[in-house]
Amino acid sequence: MEELRLWIARKLDLEPHEPADVDDLVGLGMNSVTTMTMVGSWRRAGASVTYRDLAVSPTLSGWWAALSTHTGPPPEPQSETATLIDPEAPFPPDPFLDFICG
């Protein structure tokens, strides 16, 4: 966790012993762009952590828990529409096509 503390301190221009485990990182100056940049770095390194994982608990201890839980390769991207579309279902009626072809 000390390596994470040092990395966050460097990103937020804080002293190396800061932040404390339970300090609100947003209150210390963490913003969404920096967080997303860090998530991208961690994902390239093999963690499957997401922005949402970090946003729910913006503290050093919360981020450490998220990173510890989300190790390994990133999950395969899932399309929400992929599960909603039945490829065997007929197309719904289209009044415009009915008018043109009808």
Domain that holds residue 64: 2-73
* Phi–psi pair at 7, nearest 5 degrees: -65, -45
How high is the pLDDT of residue 15? 92
Number of domains the chain is built from: 1
- Cα end-to-end span (Å), the chain: 68
What's the pLDDT at 93?
Answer: 61
The stretches of the chain forming alpha helices (DSSP H) are 2-11, 32-44, 51-55, 60-69, 95-101
User: So what's the pLDDT on residue 23?
Assistant: 95
More confident residue, 84 or 17: 17
Q: Is 92 within the bounds of a domain?
A: no
Predicted confidence (pLDDT) at residue 85 exceeds the cutoff of 70:
no
Task: Give dist(CA 31, CA 96) in Å, integer.
Answer: 47
pLDDT (tens digit, 9 = 90+) per residue, 12-61?
999 988 899 999 999 999 999 899 888 888 888 888 888 989 999 999 99
Is residue 83 situated within a structural domain?
no
Is residue 13 one of the residues assigned to a domain?
yes
Q: What is the pLDDT of residue 41?
A: 85
Does 67 map to a domain? Answer: yes
Residue 37, in any domain of the structure: yes
Highest mean pLDDT of the ranges 29-38, 70-79, 84-93 = 29-38
CATH number of 21's domain = 1.10.1200.10
Site of tokens 């992929």: 82
Average pLDDT, the chain: 78
